[in-house]
Amino acid sequence: MCEEWFIKGINCGKYTSSDENKRYALKAVQILKKHTDLIHNKQKLWGEVMKLEGNDIQESGQMDVVIALWKDGLIDV
């Protein structure tokens, strides 16, 4: 998300080698913009990300990061 200027106070740059995790996090932010109630349901948020991805893999902490940043007001929406 830092690479895409989504995090307040963090300069754009190369921060991850995981394009998948980056894509999942960015999709989660887009979903939260429309459905803020999902901030309280990590599993459902992940399910919505997986619907967009056409996958059904296990979440491994990506949504914890997105939710924590969102709750702390650090995501620039």
The 10s digit of each residue's pLDDT in 27-56 is 999 999 999 999 999 999 999 999 999 988
**What local confidence, expressed as pLDDT, does residue 32 receive?**
96
Identify the three-state secondary structure at position 41: coil
Q: What b/e readout covers 62-71, taking b as 16+ CB neighbours within 10 angstroms?
A: bbeebbebbe
Q: What is the overall mean pLDDT for the chain?
A: 86
Q: Which of 13-22, 38-47, 67-76 is least confident?
A: 13-22
Q: What is the pTM of this model?
A: 0.81
